[in-house]
Structure 1
Amino acid sequence: MKLENSLPLEYKTHQNQLNILGFWIFLGAEIMLFGTLFASYFTLVDRTGTGPTGAEIFEITPVLIETFVLLTSSFVIGLGIHAMRLGKKTAMMTFFAVTLLLGLVFLGFEIFEFVHYVHIGAGLQTSAFTAILLTTLGTHGAHVTFGFFWGLCILLQIKKRGLTTETANKAFIFSLYWHFLDVVWIFIFSFVYLKGMM
């Protein structure tokens, strides 16, 4: 009982602990998904046909902004979890709301980037390279979009029910998901964009 009392709110019940373990297993499957996309990308990156190469279409400024925005959102959600553990509902909700706003900013840049690629002739059917590039970026963007709506639902639940073991568990699991998306983006930034610009 003493050990249970010393646990953070999101770990307080046995069910909560099982939920978190289950989500780590789910993230293992997500790693396999993105691992497959990266392996496909590395296989097809030089198959540009008559289409453009990465060096011709990648621009460093928007990519740096996207990276800064997403990494900042990861830091902010960490502050949100810390506030949650201190029982500060308003601060926690504020940090989560800022995280979601930063997620929207990221998505805005990514949509602009997609439109730009298609406008300059780098669409899904242009080459194997552009197809796997857009598929990889689109899969990550779809995850961020899903994360935005998921996070919004959690915020509404916390506003209605307050910080309970159940809502804290959901918020913590969501934070793991958001951190995972940031880690995936670091790989995209490093091995897709930076490598592609060389």
Structure 2
Amino acid sequence: MDQPGQADGAPAPPIHETATHAHHFRDRDHEFDAAKMGVWLFLATEVLLFSGLFMYYAAMRYLHPEAFRHGSSLLDWRWGLINTAVLLMSSFTAAAAVRDAQLGRQGWLKLNLLLTCLAGLAFLVIKFVFEYYPKWLAGELPGKYYTYPNWEDPNEVHWWGLYWAATGVHATHVLIGIGLYAWMFVRAFLGYYGPKRYMMVEGTALYWHIVDIVWIFLFPMLYLIH
């Protein structure tokens, strides 16, 4: 059905150009501010989540320094460094996507959404194929799968438990971010995002930056302490 005032046969305008605010907001600025506040509150809970892991890391490393030092020496820092570069690049494309939406640059918006999604996938492929899988084969997975024969300290199991928990929770957040960016990439082709509607792009970028910052802390804490 044609929009009111639209000539017969004329293409419908992009969705972002006809966006209106929800009925319980005064205007679009009010809706935007409320949504952004909600995003920041959510990100605060994410910081609290990872802060607990960091505090546990500090306590266990203080109690078992040699176990943590030896466990860290078994990680390949080069894969961690590559993944750091991948996430830093993805932070740039995530920020660029926000700017593209604000300026209505639809082609660049789609490209940067796709690049961010692909960077997240590359991070997970490296993590699972070159790190998780070899460690599982080597018996470095905690619990009944912990059969690693060359441990030097019985407390190394605490190290591996923390490594899998911290990187696993982080990888889950990366996977969620990939899903969000894939969803936005599809919606971008429908004209959902533009100068009047970009909060989803900006909010997801803020989430993605937090995920990247967490990794910037995890990389030296896990890979470089030895």
Which residues of 2 match residues 59-74 of structure 1 at below 5 A? 59-74=76-91
Alignment partner of 1:13 out of 9, 29, 46: 29
Q: Is 1:30 equivalent to 2:46 in the alignment?
A: yes
Displacement of 1:118 in angstroms is: 1.6
1:54 matched to 2:71 = yes
Aligned 8 A contact 2:103 2:194 in 1: no
1:176 partnered with 2:206: yes
Equivalence map 1:140-155=2 (5 Å): 140-155=170-185
Q: How does 1:128-167 map to 2 (within 5 A)?
A: 128-164=158-194, 167=197
* Matching residue within 88, 106, 113 for 2:123: 106
| Higher Cα radius of gyration | 2
For 1:120 and 1:128, the matched residues in 2 are separated by 17
What is the rounded CA distance, in whole Å, between the counterparts of 2:215 and 2:111 in structure 1? Answer: 24
Match of 2:142 among 107, 112, 124: 124
Q: Choose 168-177 or 110-119, whichever is displaced more.
A: 110-119
- How many residues were matched structurally? 186
Unaligned ranges ≥5, structure 1: 1-10
CA distance in structure 1 between the partners assigned to 2:160 and 2:197 by the alignment: 41
Name the stretch that deviates more: 70-79 or 159-168.
159-168
Instruction: State the TM-score, normalized to the length of structure 1.
Output: 0.85
Q: Please identify, of 124-133 and 173-182, the stretch whose mean Cα deviation from structure 2 is larger.
A: 124-133
Shift of 1:56: 3.2
Name the residue aligned to 1:77. 94
Separation in 2, partners of 1:50, 1:183: 26
Tell me if structure 2 keeps the 8 A contact 1:80–1:92: yes
Partner of 1:96: 113
Residue 40 (1) aligns with residue 95 (2): no
- Counterpart of 1:129, as a letter, is W
Moved more, 65-74 or 43-52: 43-52
Indicate conservation of the 8 Å contact 1:52/1:122, yes or no.
no
Structure 1 residues 132 and 82, CA, compared in 2 at 3 Å: closer, same or farther? same
Q: Shift in Å at residue 48 of structure 1?
A: 8.9
Q: After the TM superposition, which segments of 4 or more aligned residues of structure 1 sit over 4 Å from their partners?
A: 46-52, 164-167
8 Å Cα contact 1:154/1:167 also seen in 2: no
Change (3 A) 1:177 1:71: same
Q: Secondary structure at 1:97's aligned position in 2? A: helix
Gaps of 5+ in 2: 1-26, 147-156
Secondary structure in structure 2 of the residue aligned to 1:122? coil
Alignment check: 8 A CA contact 2:72 2:222 kept: no
114-123 or 164-173: which moved more?
Answer: 164-173
- Distance in 2, matches of 1:119 and 1:42, equals 28
Partner residue in 2 for 1:186: 216
Any idea what SS the aligned residue of 2:198 has? helix
